[in-house]
Amino acid sequence: MALRITDLPQEILINIFKRLDIDDVLALEQTCQLFDEAIQDSWAWHQMYHYRYGNFTKKADQYEREWTWRQKYEEKASLKLSVANDFEIAHLNGIHWRKCESSESEYGSIAMMQQVCWLDANSTIRSVSPGTYRVLWRIRVWDTVLRNQQVDFTAIPQVDDTGMIPRGSSIFTSPRGWFSETEVQGRGWAVMALPSKLVIDKEWGLTDVRVSVERKDDQWKGGMDFDWVQLQRIDNDLPVTSRLRTYKRVRELRNNSRFRNEFRVEDPGYPSLSRYIIISTVLTYFLFWLKQQIAH
């Protein structure tokens, strides 16, 4: 008798789900009642989180409420970090850098670069899938910005232990005078996309990406605030902010007029036919392999 995927126990379905990207999981959720019920299970999201990101570490802004495993997974899959909460910042002492609460940030706090020579603020976005990404920074440039300061914005895949910068890295060094000449100076918050794209090669698989704003020299830098950094996939027909429409904080921002112009969260509608075909092919090969294992 032919074995159908709907006959598989939930444990095997979850074993399939945890090997898929978030967009594929959300696509499967819309295909039938069986997948919808399986994906709604909190244990499924717990297993997917542990497989992809390891043990869960609660951040400071998450102590105020309990998150479901789905919310924890979707926050990680958004490929977005708060500079104030998630970054390691050198000289965060209230003089050179300062962290302060802000109602203008979805994370509730921002990092203010006041005046520093040794600029080093970095973090890691974990388990990024192969693809091409746009690197976005939400920043605010004050009128007090130093005219000739230069800053390096980087997004570097962590695939080389030798210290060499791998291909596909996104690195942008602001030219001298760039901040004082840009239209964002003194105009409030703006989302800046780095000119070069980040490319994660297929042969690397899931890859950690180090993101940073840095410049280690003897020139003073200051007059900038940082909110968040995000990797936005651009070789996919479902942008990440649309795929994660169930993420609570994004839904809140959608109804907040203060953020409406910056956060355009569209309804992704139905997944493309090509994605259904790919998923069906993967499941077919898996069932074929499973039947062979059972037969032996």
Buried-exposed string 208-221: b where 16+ CB fall within 10 A, e elsewhere: ebebbbebeeeeeb
Q: Are 151 and 215 in contact (CB under 8 A)?
A: yes
* pTM, entire model: 0.72
Q: Are 153 and 213 in contact (CB under 8 A)?
A: yes
Q: Are 229 and 267 in contact (CB under 8 A)?
A: no
Instruction: Out of 8-12, 143-147, 169-173, 255-259, give the one with best mean pLDDT.
Output: 169-173
Q: How many CB atoms lie within 10 A of CB 87?
A: 23
- How far is 74 from 195, CA to CA, in rounded Å? 27
Lowest mean pLDDT among 37-46, 91-100, 164-173, 286-295: 286-295
Element (H, E) at 141: strand 131-141
Q: Are 207 and 165 in contact (CB under 8 A)?
A: no
C-alpha triplet 227, 111, 245: angle, nearest 5°? 25
- The answer to whether residue 237 scores a pLDDT higher than 50 is no
The pLDDT score that the predictor gives to residue 35 is 85
- The answer to whether residue 212 scores a pLDDT higher than 90 is yes
Mean pLDDT of 68-88: 91
The pLDDT score that the predictor gives to residue 215 is 93
Helices (H), ranges, the chain: 10-17, 22-29, 33-40, 42-53, 69-77, 83-86, 178-181, 240-243, 248-254, 273-295
When pLDDT is cut at 50, 70 and 90, the band that residue 186 belongs to is low
Q: Are 107 and 62 in contact (CB under 8 A)?
A: no
Closest CA to 85 of 60, 64, 104: 60
